[in-house]
Structure 1
């Protein structure tokens, strides 16, 4: 039998060894382990803020509300939409980039603030490739080139001829510099060797309203924004931007079919602040991917002309880099910059 004083001495020695081991362990590793454990065991413990960098009623807003509502069921916490529009989507996306990386502030953003603005803006408040963590790709959607009937054109080629004959006479509305809404029209300008005035707005409803009121003559926007006005006879749809025709718009040709060698998607994706723990990103990815794969949610998105293609964070990161390689040269050729 071991004497009690030896047992006490052994216990003291073990405690001292444990203290030394903990002291030798980097604090970052301990903090990371603690954060990961918390994330796996307790996250989310309160509502999640989903920031949309455009106004209510915009296509990113509609996407966020549809998908956020479904994801909240799996997360077992409300997903609260917050609209923070301005600066071509940079303002709201910067809110996400600078938020605490704890999974309680995420964003639903588009090609401008996530990719193209890094080329357009001389100075960005954040770096989308350094300060944001991709969660998942969301949806693809076509843009529709639509014009006011007062222009008297019925095809994209007729529009191009009109612009070529009247440089500087017409203008177009977009949802901001760097968006597909802007770049698709800049490509048309380049191909027509014409000057058409760009008038940016902070949302698709505002851009459509400007065309309806006669403040602008044409626009390139998601079907959700323009098709109700096309169906009412207040706008004419001349082409869609995607490589293939939109199933719900079988009579509207693609840009390539109309003679413009270009295609593009007005996509939306989900991001979090850089540094968000991997277990939190994994949980968010799991729930939002599940939401977009839910048949009822897919049908709701399809009714808004959105095709869901969720995937892994790595796939979304690679897609963003590919988009930069695709559109960066287009932006530089256009000469568009923002101080």
Structure 2
């Protein structure tokens, strides 16, 4: 064999080994991009930055935050769904991007379940069902009964179409066969003001923003949408305790990777994310905005996201709810 032919053979052999060598490269070997599909400074963005900073320190590589905003988070989610499945482009996905947007919008171009690996559940927020005291009711059962006797006559405020408060209302109506008049506002704070003043009758609102009005008697809390009671309102029952187990909803966030991301990368990220959530820095950050830790490992989170997508598709289609 000539010298040139030997050189060619060796070079060809090295090239054929390149994919194997890359596959065996320790993960992570370079910075990781975390796509946050909401604007910089938003609650989701703030939480993402704290988690990314601690998680990056544990992994030995920094996270680069990339805010890709639009269509309730769907622009960023679509971008990640088409990224290489190598663990270097991840998504901070939410109940919206992975649970409801595909049913709400006709223009969504990704599958929230098939196009992603649900790596780890991170955090959540719960709503509380609150009413104006002038209604004279003190339980979910009484509200449902009043609505059945007066279909469409009770006004239900929310922070806008497709928001968590609106989604909870649709879930309540679907599960109980009731019909309220939905009054969407430009912000939940505006809806809350009108609820306190008596211009609307009820709404689902985040626990942390309604709690002060509940304590001073301006609002009456009927139940929280989490599966367990909230420390901020320990006296308020869950929906299940109130007799409506099917009306449970969380605004959750978690870590997602493109489909076909190698299993060893997913397991590493999930394990480190769990340890990250145990740190005081992350716990304090979540507590400051009224969020709580979910800490749901990969397999459990994957199943949870699948159930969420099915649930919200059924609820929104039953209510005929779509957005442009």
> What is the TM-score of this pair, normalised by structure 1?
0.74
CA-based RMSD: 3.7
Matching residue of 2:29: 42
Whether 1:123 aligns to 2:107 is yes
Aligned partners of 2:90 and 2:256 also within 8 Å: yes
Summarize the Cα distance change of 1:69–1:209 in structure 2 as closer, same or farther, 3 Å threshold. Answer: farther
Distance 1:322 1:188, change over 3 A: closer
Name the residue aligned to 2:188: 207
Query: After TM superposition, what 4+ stretches of structure 1 lie above 6 angstroms from structure 2?
Result: none
Q: In structure 1, which of residues 65, 68, 78 is the aligned counterpart of residue 52 of structure 2?
A: 68
2:155 corresponds to which residue?
Answer: 170
**Residues 144-155 of structure 1: matches in 2 within 5 Å?**
144-149=128-133, 151=135, 153-155=137-139
* TM-score, length-scaled by structure 2: 0.77
Q: How many residues align?
A: 317
Judge conservation of contact 1:241–1:262 (CA < 8 Å) in 2. Answer: no
Q: CA deviation at 1:306?
A: 0.8
Query: Unmatched 5+ residue regions in structure 2?
Result: none
Report deviation, 1:295: 5.1
Quote the offset at 1:291 in angstroms: 0.5
Equivalent in 94, 97, 112 of residue 96 of structure 2: 112
Distance, in Å, in 1 between the alignment partners of 2:21 and 2:183 is: 51
Aligned to 2:315, which of 330, 335, 339? 330
Corresponding position of 2:257? 272
- CA displacement, residues 181-227 of structure 1 (integer Å, 9 cap, x when unaligned): 333211333425323215275xxxx3133321457553324323433
Structure-1 separation of matches of 2:180 and 2:228: 28
Distance 1:21 1:42, change over 3 A: closer
Name 1:224's counterpart in structure 2: 208
Deviations 1:86-106 (A, max 9, x none): 433323433443556565543
Corresponding residue of 2:9: 17
Shift of 1:245: 2.1
How has the CA–CA distance of structure 1 residues 280 and 256 changed in structure 2, closer, same or farther, with 3 Å as cutoff? closer
- Aligned-residue offset at 1:145: 1.4
Quote how far apart the aligned CAs of 1:321 are: 1.6
Secondary structure (helix, strand or coil) at the match of 2:158 reads: strand
Q: Bigger radius of gyration, 1 or 2?
A: 1
